[in-house]
Amino acid sequence: MQSVTRQDLLDTALEKLADGTVSHVLGWSRGTFDYEATPTLFSDPDTLRTAFVWNDFCGANLSKYLIKHTRRLEGRLLVFLKPCDTYSFNQLLTEHRFERERVFVVGVPCNGMADPRKLKAQADGILSVTAEGDTLSVETLYDGTRTLAVADLLEERCLTCKSRRHAAYDLLLGEEGEVQDSARFDEVAAIEAMSPDERFAFWQKELSRCIRCNACRDVCPACTCEQCVFGNPSSGVENKAASNEFEEKLFHIIRALHVAGRCTDCGECSRVCPQGIPLHLLNRKFIKEINENYGVYQAGAEVGTRAPLVDFTLDDPEAETVVRRGDDA
């Protein structure tokens, strides 16, 4: 269960619309089923009242939409951001993707979001889902009404949440959380501990499932190039198909390199992948390397910081140290 209610968010949005602070509200509405939410832009209070949702399925990070909407619309936009989303927000500001004054950030505390995939693995033929405290009451076609604990359905990124403290907001609803002592690098360490052959086999198996739909890229708040190299037919690389096995891996490696130092580990890539590929592990590997070689750095923790990979300080390790450490791994 979330600690602030839909009504709390709704009241705030209606108030800010009414007093003219903002002209639009970026939030979520119910998707096709109760366990899904669609990012939605509201301007009409009545639509907001009927369609707005805030529940355990509002995983979608809204920050990237701010680029598009601030360009398209006049006025100021209210956006609801969960703690992890605020890191993306700051990173986008650092990269000058939109103007801070155009956005009114309402920070919402988050107790973790439920993963529809985990829900569907446990319940077949879901007709409705209703939140009841820390559990979900799930009406199914085959097993009657089931009661499932939200804690057992949390998204992977929520189980390894890095921070429940917002990195930015104009108005905070509810209680502020803390930066978490996250075990998010454990899985990366497990992959590092594999032999090179095992590691190759691991990624070979995962990445060979990729259908190159590009959802990971399109949802990624760090992927904001006006023209992605993989969407440019003249670039010589293919965006819609892997012409061979090598290119299949190349897409992911290039993308991971492009976002290295800028990826906030928001986890959207893994959330949207229709093939269930654990893409976040690639990006986390880079974060772990950066932390170990250049000191702990969290992209999006503040606005305007220079990421270690695009900065030079006298304390930087010598290139050969980095290379040697890489060899050892």
Partner 1 sequence: MRKCALSVMPDLLRAVAEATPLYLPVDTDKGDALFTRWFEGADWSGACNTARGPKDLFFPQTEDLVAFKTAGKTVEVLDIRREQEDFVVFGVRPCDVKAIEVLDRVFLSEPVDSFYAARRNHALIVTAACSRPTETCFCGTFGIDPTALCGDVTVWKTEDHVYWQAATEQGERFLAALDGFLEDADDTAVTAQRAQTAALLSRLPLHSLRADAFGGGKTEAFFDHPAWDTLSQSCLGCGTCTFVCPTCQCYDIKDFDTGHGVVRYRCWDSCMYSDFTKMAHGNPRLTQKERFRQRFMHKLVYYPENNDGLFSCVGCGRCLAKCPISMNIATVMNTLGGDAR
Which parts of this chain interact with partner 1 (CB under 8 A)? 31-33, 36-41, 60, 65, 117, 121, 124-127, 141-142, 209, 211-215, 217-219, 231-233, 238-243, 271-272, 274-276
Q: Please, which residue, 148 or 229, has the CB nearer to ligand SF4? A: 229
d(CA 168, CA 172): 9
Q: Which of ligand SF4, partner 1, none sits in contact with 48, Cβ below 5 to 8 A by type?
A: none
Q: Please, which residue, 13 or 301, has the CB nearer to partner 1? A: 13
Give the DSSP letter of residue 52.
E
Q: Please, which residue, 23 or 275, has the CB nearer to ligand SF4? A: 275
Q: Which of partner 1, ligand SF4, none sits in contact with 225, Cβ below 5 to 8 A by type?
A: ligand SF4
Q: Which of partner 1, ligand SF4, none sits in contact with 279, Cβ below 5 to 8 A by type?
A: ligand SF4
243: three-class secondary structure by DSSP: coil
Give the DSSP letter of residue 82.
-
Q: Which of partner 1, ligand SF4, none sits in contact with 210, Cβ below 5 to 8 A by type?
A: ligand SF4
Under 8 Å CB-to-CB from 217, ≥6 apart: which residues?
Answer: 223, 228, 230, 255
> Considering the complex, what minimum distance in angstroms separates the CB of residue 229 from ligand SF4?
4
> Considering the complex, what minimum distance in angstroms separates the CB of residue 128 from partner 1?
8
Q: Please, which residue, 66 or 167, has the CB nearer to partner 1? A: 66
Q: Please, which residue, 6 or 117, has the CB nearer to partner 1? A: 117
> Considering the complex, what minimum distance in angstroms separates the CB of residue 280 from partner 1?
15
Residue 174, classified by CB atoms within 10 Å of its CB into exposed (0-12), middle (13-18) or buried (19+), is middle
Q: Which of partner 1, ligand SF4, none sits in contact with 229, Cβ below 5 to 8 A by type?
A: ligand SF4
Q: Are the C-beta atoms of 31 and 37 separated by less than 8 Å?
A: yes
The region that residue 300 occupies, defined by phi over 0 for left and psi between -120 and 50 for alpha, beta otherwise, is left
> Considering the complex, what minimum distance in angstroms separates the CB of residue 31 from partner 1?
3
Q: Which of 118, 327, 82, 70 is nearest to 224 (CA)?
A: 70
Q: Please, which residue, 140 or 182, has the CB nearer to partner 1? A: 140
d(CA 208, CA 187): 20
Q: Please, which residue, 219 or 254, has the CB nearer to partner 1? A: 219
293: three-class secondary structure by DSSP: helix
Tell whether the torsion through CA atoms of 306, 308, 309 and 311 is positive or negative.
positive
Q: Please, which residue, 126 or 279, has the CB nearer to ligand SF4? A: 279
Residue 202, classified by CB atoms within 10 Å of its CB into exposed (0-12), middle (13-18) or buried (19+), is middle
Residues in the chain: 329
Q: Which of partner 1, ligand SF4, none sits in contact with 39, Cβ below 5 to 8 A by type?
A: partner 1
Q: Which of partner 1, ligand SF4, none sits in contact with 141, Cβ below 5 to 8 A by type?
A: partner 1
Footprint of ligand SF4 (CB under 6 A): 210-217, 223, 225, 228-230, 255, 258-259, 272-275, 277, 279
> Considering the complex, what minimum distance in angstroms separates the CB of residue 215 from ligand SF4?
4
Backbone angles phi, psi at 114, to 5 degrees: -80, 145
Q: Are the C-beta atoms of 220 and 283 separated by less than 8 Å?
A: no
Tell whether the torsion through CA atoms of 302, 303, 304 and 310 is positive or negative.
positive
